[in-house]
Every structure is written in C-alpha cells, then in structure tokens.
C-alpha cells in the first residue's frame, strides 16, 4: 500500500480516539494503531461502510468499514434528514398531523439492541416519533407495524442469514417495503453527507414509545387472514410439526400463529429456541443449508413428524423438510416451495369459490417458469419482477385498489401470501405450508406426494445455481467484462439446444428467433427500472439467467432444466430421482456453453 494511503487511514483511525467515542472503542482502535501488522487497521478504516439501496450490512467492530453504533448513528442521521425533507415537500401519503413517525426493530444478533436503541435515539433527536419494539421481532412484523401505525418509515437491525460476525440495517418506506427509487438514492445521498459531528443524539425520550404484545396480536390476526381452508386444518389439527427459529425472532410468534390457525401438535427444537447471536448449534444460521436443519430433522425423526420447518434469524425466510416415499427427509428447494404455494392458492381458492378475476400472483424473473405454466393454464395473472421483495412490494403498491394480491415469492426461500406485509414473511408462509400439508394428508398424501402431483400435471424441471466468486477490484473488473462479453457475443446454443429468446434487463430489449431471424421488442418493467441481468431460453425448454451479485463479489447463474416426459400424467418418487439425475447430468454441458 502506498504511504499516502496508509497515512490517510491512520488519520481517520486517530480521529476515533476522541471522547466522542466510548472507551472500549478507543482501546480497540489504539490496539490496531499500535499493532505491527496493520491488516486489521486497514480493513477497518480504508473506507466507510457503504449505505446501499437496502441499507447497511457488514462485520461488527470499531472502524468506518464496520457495523458499530457510530456508523449506525450516521446512517440514521442521513435517513432522518431525508424523511424530514420529504415531509417538507408534502411527499407522504400516510402522514396525519405535523410529526412523522418510524418503527424500529431488531433480531437476535449481537449488538442488535444497542444498534436499535441508537437508531431510536437519533430519530428522536431529529424530532421524529419512534415506535421501538421491546425486544427482537421478525422483519415482516416491522413491515406490518409501519403500515398498521401509519408511519412514514422504519429500520430493522438485522443481517438476515449472514454469519454471526455480521449485522445490518434495513431501511423501510411508508408502505412497509424496503426503499425503492427515487427514495433509495435520496437517502444514500443524505447519508454520504453526514459527518460524525453532524449526528444529533440525546433526543426527547418521550418521542420513543415501546411497542410489543398488542402489535404481536394484531400481526397474528393479519397472519390468520391468509388461511384458505379452515375445515381441512380442523380435520388435520394433529399434523405433527417440528419448528426451529435458528435462535432468532420467530421463536414466539411462529408457534403462536400456528396455534391460532388450529394446529395443536407443534414441537420446537429446544436448543435453537435460545436467543443467541453466536448461533452455537449451526455452522451458519441459513435454513437453505442442509446442515442447519440437522437438529430439526433429528427431532422430527424421534417424534415421527410430518414435516420440519425453520425460519432464519430475522424470520423472513423459511425452509421446509418433508419425508419422501422412502420415509427419508428431503429439503424442498425455494423454487419448489414457491410453486407449491402458487398451485395451492389457485386451486383451493377456486374449489372454495374464493377466486376472483382481479386476483394476481408475482414471482421474480429468476424464479421457476413452472409457476408461469401453472398460472397461464389456470387463467390467473402472474407478473415477473426483479430479484428482491422490494420489487414484489412495488407491484402491490402499483396495483393497490385495482387488483387483489394473493401471493408472491422468489427462489431464495421467501414467500409473501398477503398484502398486510410488504416483505417476505415466514410466520404466514409457515402457517400456509402447514395448511397445504394438512390438505395433502386429508387426501391421503404427504407434502412430498403433493409436490409429485404438481409435477405430474405440469411437467418436471430441476433448478440449479452456480456462483463464480471473483474477489477484489480485479474480480469486479472480470465480472463486468464477463457480462459485456455475453452481451457482445451471446451464446447461439446451450447444451446442444438453440437459443430462441434473449432478454436483456439492462437495455430492456427482448430478442426472439422467428422465421430465421431475430425480432426485437421492448420489455415493460415496473418504474422502467433496469437491472444487470441476462436470460437465455432454448428451443428445448432450458432457461439460463446470469447476473452479478449486488452484495458479494460473485456472478450468479440460475439454470432451469426440464427432464422426463412432459406428457406423462403419473410421477413417482422413482421418476423424481431419475429426472433429477438426468437434469443434473446436463449441468456441465450448460456451464461449458457459457464458458464457466
């Protein structure tokens, strides 16, 4: 590293040695300054942790490039300044009176309460009313509370399912969704202007109101409104359910919601009911990982459970494990989960006469096209949105008062079955998957059998994700070049199948191969927003999506690979295994076609 850059880093670190910072922080910074190896000092101070479109996320510790109460305070000052600016411009539709208000929550992570109280203090010092949850709560309940209380924004302190070293800060707008354009950039601009001496602290404590039990009840009642068929739940109220909150925010609310729906045979993993930001029972608190589900599956085996369900630390994502036809535990992937929800919602609402022409579903552009097939055949509107639930929330906002939202999800284990919340919601999704399992059992099926039934009706495909990691500046440059190469020289064939459709969400241009030539058309996306995503569709039914990650140094590939005979109207567990193997065997050829 150049001497000038090291001098700059040292100056920044030394500015943290003033009484404005607590004694523990000053001692940690002094230790870094005095250390012979300056690696930790450089990593902690070489930049300021970036406030992105979703907020903050980073490793906890002292320094400008770390999550700590001072960086949280700076971010909140910028957010508060922007909220007050929008108020002056008359930009809030929910504001009643002359004082804006926000909701603040946190999950189980270390320093979560400290950071949440810091957020509340800075907002109050700026004259903003704060509704602060008394203790950890799910992310979707924070979203619900913003809408329920008529607030203009909110913050949830969480790093979702990241490792224990991380914490984060999610910023929400008045509709309960994570901020979108133009407000996302407006907040970023204000945060970037804030110096530590600009932060207002020690505000009027009377502006901070603690909320808890009453909001839990109202939220639980909203979750109960998702229920489609109460009779089937009453008949199968003894469905054997094992649940784990992964030491996090679902620990009370999820069992409470399940009981309110009528389920009576609920078991929890006791070791993982303990609130602990160190997540001592798992390598990583990510329910997408099979390892994280081990304790739940072990308890499920002991108790003869029908299914095992988990939520991640902030209780927005879910994971579902059920028994296959051999009695073995299998994890249902995110695409399958979303597909089952959409299939059940459409079919059972129709059976009960609850379906209306104005109802619609949503999926993200990288989520299974089988859901599109289901919706189209059933005559139900389905929209495709960009990755991230803020885009699903945006669709709900756009069509509010015109059409009725009944469900939406993404491949990364998130679903939202109602519009009282504007982020993915594990309590409602868990209750609904248990209703689906109850329906299956009422018809002599397991949840796995129900999945096979959908494949028998609509055909089988296997989804696969490949991540290519390229760290550092050179890695970022390489990823940019890879995307440029795909645009300049798109693949003509993938795994021996001709590419017949290309979608470029950066230019919003779609190209279709028709009558021996390419025909171009413009795609319509919400807010005319663009995204650095490419998609290829082949004449054999393959779908490949490519996009750089917005938060990690990687480029992500999503494969959808059909297999088996789509005209076959039976589909067994043996068919599932055979078709899965057939699809997975094609992955190397797909990767080779893409040069990875």
- What residues are annotated to the active site? 160
DSSP reduced 3-state for 479: helix
CA angle 321–326–327, rounded 5-degree value: 45
**Which stretches does DSSP call E strand in 411-527?**
414-416, 460-469, 493-494, 497-504, 509-514, 517-522
Torsions phi, psi of 566, nearest 5? Answer: -65, -15
CA angle 480–486–487, rounded 5-degree value: 90
CA distances from 568 to 275, 449, 454, 459, 564 (A): 48, 16, 12, 8, 8
Rounded Cα gap, residues 434 and 431, in angstroms: 5
Rounded Cα gap, residues 570 and 330, in angstroms: 20
CA angle 207–209–210, rounded 5-degree value: 150
Rounded Cα gap, residues 325 and 573, in angstroms: 6
How crowded is residue 520: how many other Cβ atoms within 10 Å of its Cβ?
A: 10
- Mark residue 32 as left, alpha or beta (left: phi above 0; alpha: psi -120 to 50; beta: remaining): alpha
Name the CA dihedral angle for 574, 579, 581, 584, rounded to a multiple of 10 degrees.
Answer: -160
Sign of CA dihedral 211, 214, 217, 223: negative
Q: Are 104 and 124 in contact (CB under 8 A)?
A: no
Element (DSSP H or E) covering residue 131: strand 129-133
Q: Are 35 and 55 in contact (CB under 8 A)?
A: no
Element (DSSP H or E) covering residue 23: helix 23-34
Residues 6+ apart with CB under 8 A from 35: 41
Rounded Cα gap, residues 431 and 223, in angstroms: 8
**Which stretches does DSSP call E strand in 135-207?**
153-157, 166-173
Q: 537 - beta bridge partners?
A: 501, 543
Report CA 141 to chain centroid distance, whole Å.
Answer: 14
Report CA 10 to chain centroid distance, whole Å.
Answer: 37
Rounded Cα gap, residues 418 and 511, in angstroms: 35
Q: Are 366 and 545 in contact (CB under 8 A)?
A: yes
Q: Are 319 and 249 in contact (CB under 8 A)?
A: no
Q: 321 - beta bridge partners?
A: 308, 331
Residues in the chain: 596
Rounded Cα gap, residues 171 and 187, in angstroms: 9
Rounded Cα gap, residues 396 and 34, in angstroms: 54
């Amino acid at each position: 590293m150049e001497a000038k850059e090291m001098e700059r880093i040292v100056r920044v670190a030394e500015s943290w040695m003033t009484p404005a910072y607590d004694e523990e922080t000053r001692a940690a910074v002094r230790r870094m300054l005095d250390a012979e190896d300056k690696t930790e000092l450089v990593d902690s101070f070489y930049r300021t942790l970036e406030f992105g479109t979703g907020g903050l996320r980073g490793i906890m510790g002292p320094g400008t490039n770390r999550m700590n109460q001072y960086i949280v305070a700076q971010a909140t000052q910028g957010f508060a300044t922007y909220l007050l600016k929008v108020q002056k411009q008359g930009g809030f539709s929910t504001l009643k009176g002359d004082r804006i208000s926000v909701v603040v929550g946190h999950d189980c992570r270390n320093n979560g309460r400290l950071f949440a109280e810091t957020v509340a203090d800075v907002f109050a010092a700026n004259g903003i009313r704060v509704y602060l949850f008394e203790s950890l709560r799910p992310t979707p309940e924070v979203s619900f509370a913003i809408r329920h209380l008529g607030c203009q924004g909110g913050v949830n302190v969480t790093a979702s399912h990241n490792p224990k070293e991380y914490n984060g800060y999610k910023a929400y707008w008045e509709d309960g969704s994570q901020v979108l354009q133009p407000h996302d950039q407006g907040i970023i601009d204000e945060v970037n202007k804030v110096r530590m001496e600009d932060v207002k602290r020690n505000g009027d404590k009377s502006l901070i109101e603690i909320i808890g039990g009453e909001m839990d009840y109202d939220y639980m009642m909203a979750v109960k409104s998702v229920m489609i068929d109460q009779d089937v739940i009453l008949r199968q109220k003894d469905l054997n359910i094992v649940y784990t909150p992964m030491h996090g925010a679902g620990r009370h609310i999820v069992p409470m919601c399940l009981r309110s729906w009528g389920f009576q045979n609920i078991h929890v993993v006791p070791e993982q009911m303990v609130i602990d930001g160190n997540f001592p029972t798992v390598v990583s608190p990510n329910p997408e990982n099979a390892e994280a589900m081990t304790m739940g599956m072990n308890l499920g085996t002991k108790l003869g459970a029908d299914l095992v369900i988990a939520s991640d630390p902030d209780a927005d994502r879910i994971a579902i494990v059920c028994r296959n036809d051999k009695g073995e535990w299998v994890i249902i992937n995110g695409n399958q989960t979303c597909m089952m929800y959409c299939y059940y919602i459409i079919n059972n609402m129709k059976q009960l006469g609850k379906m209306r022409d104005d109802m619609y579903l949503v999926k993200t552009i990288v989520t299974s096209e089988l859901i599109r097939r289901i919706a189209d055949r059933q005559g139900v509107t389905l929209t495709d949105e960009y990755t991230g639930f803020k885009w699903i929330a945006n669709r709900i906002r756009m069509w509010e008062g015109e059409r009725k939202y009944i469900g939406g999800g993404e491949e990364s284990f998130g679903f939202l079955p109602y519009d009282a919340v504007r982020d993915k919601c594990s309590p409602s999704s868990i209750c609904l998957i248990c209703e689906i399992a109850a329906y299956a059992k009422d018809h002599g099926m397991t949840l796995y059998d129900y999945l096979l039934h959908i494949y028998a009706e609509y055909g089988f495909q296997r989804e696969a994700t490949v991540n290519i990691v390229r760290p550092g500046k050179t890695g970022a440059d390489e990823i940019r070049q890879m995307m440029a190469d795909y645009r300049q020289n798109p693949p003509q064939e993938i795994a021996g199948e001709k590419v017949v459709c290309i979608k470029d969400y950066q230019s919003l241009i779609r190209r279709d191969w028709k009558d021996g030539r390419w025909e171009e058309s413009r795609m319509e996306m919400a807010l005319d927003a663009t995204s650095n995503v490419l998609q290829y569709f082949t004449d054999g039914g393959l779908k490949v999506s490519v996009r750089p990650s917005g938060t990690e140094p990687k480029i992500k590939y999503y494969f959808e690979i059909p297999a088996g005979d789509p005209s076959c109207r039976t589909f067994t567990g043996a068919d599932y295994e055979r078709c899965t193997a057939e699809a997975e065997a094609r992955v190397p050829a797909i990767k080779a076609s893409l040069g990875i």
